[in-house]
Amino acid sequence: MLIRTFKFRLYPDHNQHSKLNRTLGACRYTYNKMVEKINREGFQSRNDLNYFLTDLKESEPWLYENHSKMLQMVSTQIYGAQRSLQELRKTGHKTGNLKFVQYSKYDTFVYNQSGYHIRDGSLHLSKIGNIKMVQHGGIPQNSTIKQISITRKANRWFANIVLNIDGLLPTISQKLVGIDLGITNFAYDSDGCSIPNPLNYANLLKPLKRVQRKVSRRRKGSQNRKKAILWYRRIHQKIQNKRRDFLHKLSTQYAKRYGMIFLERLQKLNMVSNHRLAQRILDSGWGTFERFLKYKTCVVLVAPNNTTVDCSRCGSAVPKVLGVRTHRCHVCSLVLDRDYNAAINILQKGMGILVMHESTAGTAGTYACRDLAEVIEAGRGYGRGPVEVHQAS
């Protein structure tokens, strides 16, 4: 089974538009009320929040106009926010209190498990109505909807639809994997396997610098200087060999285990211009790894947009700064290693291309390397950004 998120634009009529806005308003009202309670009384358990929600509805009957699960999702969301703050405090970060959200910042509400269905090109939302929805390429058959989040962006409405897709994996004969390349972990794959960065360069940089100082201290043209230069080159060579060795072994392992590998297209220029990181990125050898993989197996490069930010379960955006190692989704309460979450997103992006291809072709089949060009063409058609394919010869 595969979980995928599809994003579609909604076209509500005037009446629905104001209902959607009112719903967001109700969620925001509930959210802010809960923030007020937490800031007044301290940490609230899930039960505390649920009791509070029941009381709140009693005193504010207009909240009953909204689907009940949706307000429960607000309490899940706020519980997650509390936990995140707790974790930050534990790791020594200075944190303030939870903040009230303004109208413009609160832009998503969630239907979880019930209160929706899709029929004849429109999305039915309980207590809101049938909203016209444009589905590019449609939703794969044999899928069930797990969750729908509705987002307002610049007064436009979008639905993020989370699907459980059945019976797809057996038709793909090759094992697939998404790999997120990083600094702390050189690689983290969508099967949950992490490979720490050996950081050879950093470890061996000290002797290299020492020898470099020797070279510069010795008289030009002298035998001793020549010796030192040779010495310097040897250390350098040793570092390079170690790195190549590591990258070769790792890429061979992946090529043996998987038939198709999804990687993010590297944006080297962007990253290397960040000076603090530059050395380590150059050192970590992502480009070389990609090159090695390409001549050992099928590599598909997917667009790198938001793979770290998006939640791999529900698709909500969970922005995180570089130091935050854990993905903690406030919407679906998924907690995962940051890189693991990214790897799953990379796999899903790649799989999405295959799924769309299959659902439009209408035939069940296996994907051999030679079919990839077709798959990629299909991927282009769905606006997922250009994808490059590299095939082992």
Which residues are at the interface with Zn ion (CB under 5 A)? 311, 313-314, 316, 329, 331-332, 334
**Which of residues 122 and 164 has its CB atom nearest to Zn ion in the complex?**
164
Between CA 1 and CA 351 the distance in angstroms is 12
One-letter amino acid for residue 153 of the chain = K
For 379, list phi and psi in degrees, rounded to 5.
-60, -40
Tell me how crowded residue 6 is: count the other CB atoms within 10 A of its CB. 22
Q: Are 213 and 235 in contact (CB under 8 A)?
A: no
Between CA 183 and CA 196 the distance in angstroms is 8
Between CA 377 and CA 373 the distance in angstroms is 6
**Which of residues 151 and 284 has its CB atom nearest to Zn ion in the complex?**
151
Report DSSP state, residue 191.
T
Question: Tokens 């035939």 map to which residue?
Answer: 363
Q: Which residues does residue 162 pair with via DSSP β-bridges, in sequence order?
A: 5, 147
Picking from 156, 211, 145, 117, the residue whose alpha carbon sits closest to that of residue 17 is 156
Say whether 349 sits in a helix, a strand or coil: helix
CB of 316 to Zn ion, least distance (A): 5
Q: Are 133 and 9 in contact (CB under 8 A)?
A: yes
